[in-house]
Amino acid sequence: MTTKNIIEVKNFAMRFGNKTVIRDLSFEVHRGETFGFLGSNGSGKTTTLRALLGIYEPTHGELLINNQPYDVAGKTRIGYLPEERGLYKKESVIDTMVYFGQLKGMLRDDAYQFALEYLAKVGLTGYQQMRLDKLSGGQQQKVQLGITIMGDPELLILDEPTKGFDPVNRRLLMDMIADLRKRGATIMMVSHQMDEIERLCDRVLLLKDGAAKEYGTVAAVRKKYDGAHIEEIFIQIYGDTDEIGERFSLNEMKSSDKRNRRKGNK
């Protein structure tokens, strides 16, 4: 039975040794929506995605996709673009794409055809036999994105998809995401491009101190902050922490410097 939520995270907590990364996080991603998952660097966004995809075991709580923990052999078709990007660098573009397409359940010929069409679409016609390490960083990103959307994914999880893209390619990517959404895919994305989040996402979650600081539709979150844009809200939420941190560090340094000078005078 198809449910409203494709993703459900309930009371998720994650600790690495003594370090608590996620304290208590609960949220849902509705089927067919574009969901922005935001937070400052090190706030636990990637950890949450990894736990959702079964790479990490949660310390506490439940992370469900289609009502069950993610299973690679299950029926849910997922496209995941991790933050740590990489491909088999010494292999050709086409071989790599066909390989991943097949692993995602496509027939070899279908995967081959899809790869050719995708490469044409992103301006990489003629590059199919080239080794991946001979491509530029941006071109490799395009290939990786192509692999992510292979196998007609119903859920796309994109961890900073525009990282390393120039504005032209960023626009291309965003158009592609919009297109996938039109075709019914659910998209959960982590990004620091707040304007794009605001433009593409239906709902957002802003993660702070291991829990959801803000969570709701883009309009509702903006309304709460007097119509401010997501970027301004982001700075308002996380900027304070950084400023305090910076002030603390400066004060520490100054007092330490004073102590050293006093010792020197004696």
SS3 107: coil
Q: Using CB under 8 A as the criterion, which residues of the chain lie in contact with another protein when the complex forms?
A: 50, 53-58, 69-73, 77-78, 80, 82, 84-89, 91, 95, 99-100, 102-107, 110, 147, 151
Least distance to another protein, CB of residue 246, Å:
27
Rounded to an integer, what distance in angstroms lies between the CA atom of residue 150 and that of residue 171? 20
For residues 191-205, one letter each, b for 16 or more C-beta atoms within 10 angstroms of the residue's C-beta and e for the rest, the string is bebbebbbebbbbbb
Least distance to another protein, CB of residue 176, Å:
18
Nearer to another protein, 51 or 204 (CB): 51
Q: Record the tokens describing residue 56, joined without a space.
A: 């990490």
SS3 6: strand
Least distance to another protein, CB of residue 82, Å:
4
Least distance to another protein, CB of residue 120, Å:
23
Q: Record the tokens describing residue 55, joined without a space.
A: 């790479």
Rounded to an integer, what distance in angstroms lies between the CA atom of residue 118 and that of residue 250? 51
Least distance to another protein, CB of residue 56, Å:
6
Nearer to another protein, 133 or 243 (CB): 133
Asked whether the beta carbons of 204 and 215 are under 8 A apart, the reply is yes
In whole angstroms, what separates CA 100 from the centre of its chain? Answer: 20
Nearer to another protein, 51 or 218 (CB): 51
Residue 40: phi and psi, rounded to 5, are: -75, 170
Nearer to another protein, 100 or 112 (CB): 100
DSSP character at residue 68: B
Cα–Cα distance list, 172 to 165, 167, 168, 177, 182 (Å): 10, 9, 6, 9, 15
Least distance to another protein, CB of residue 97, Å:
12
Q: What angle do CA 199, 204, 207 make, to 5 degrees?
A: 135
Nearer to another protein, 146 or 230 (CB): 146
Nearer to another protein, 58 or 234 (CB): 58
